[in-house]
Amino acid sequence: MQITWLGHSGFRIEIEDAILLVDPWLTGNPLFPAGREDEAVSGATHILLTHAHGDHASDAGRLAKKLGIKVHCIHELSEWLNGQGVETVGFGKGGTLNLNGAKVTMVHAVHSASIDFADQGLLPAGDAAGFMIAGEGHTIYLSGDTDIMADMAWMAEYHQPDIGILACGGHYTMDMERAAWAARKWFNFRWVIPCHYKTFPILAQDATALRAGLPPGIEVIEHDVLDPIRI
């Protein structure tokens, strides 16, 4: 398995026979290096979106058309994207897709979810979500934008993820301390990868507090954009 951060909440996840682009916001992303889009998206087989905000979804349609692949997301957002000429697969929380051998289950998140990058102003687009991504003997919990929520308890027990990709930059999502609290209370992660941080001054600029709040044995991975990690 290979996980590559694309900046902010974007990831390229190579698992089983799938190459997943999750929330691939590249245009206007302050952390994404200019001129490296083709490298970042080469060979991608599917796009996953946690929700409709522009810093997650605004490039999805363009990239789907460029690559000839589908966007997989909550039903209402998929319908809107489909109306823009994008091939989509809409599904809902609790639904599981087999994407080239990777099992992707949509799970709950606590966040707003309107389309905020369209010319028509704010548009309703379903709900925010996270994903459990299982394959190659591992399960990734990709939280999406969320705060701590009680659902994390059953999600951890049921899916038993060993990798956490947690949006924890604060202000719009849980912060590093809250993410650490949730991780040590409910999850049994071996690796934790922070995201939705560093992008803007209002967000946390490092994961020091996350690392300090976790017990020994959990590796917090802060890796550079487009510098892949292998698990």
pLDDT tens, position by position, 140-186:
999 999 999 999 999 999 999 999 999 999 999 999 999 999 999 99
pLDDT value of position 168: 98
Alpha-carbon span 64 to 86, nearest angstrom:
7
* DSSP class per residue in 43-94: T--EEE-S---HHHHTTHHHHHHHHT-EEEEEHHHHHHHHHTT--EEEE-TT
Which backbone phi and psi does 72 adopt, to 5 degrees?
Answer: -110, 120
Would you give the DSSP letter of residue 202?
A: T
19's tokens: 């190459």
Which of 18-22, 89-93, 114-118, 125-129 is the least confident region? 114-118
Tens digit of pLDDT for each residue in 16-30? 999 999 999 999 999
CATH code for residues 2-221: 3.60.15.10
Q: What residue spans define the domains of the chain?
A: 2-221
- H-run or E-run covering 213: helix 208-213
Residue 118: its pLDDT value, please? Answer: 84
pTM value > 0.95: yes
- CA dihedral (81, 82, 84, 85) in degrees, to 10, reads 130
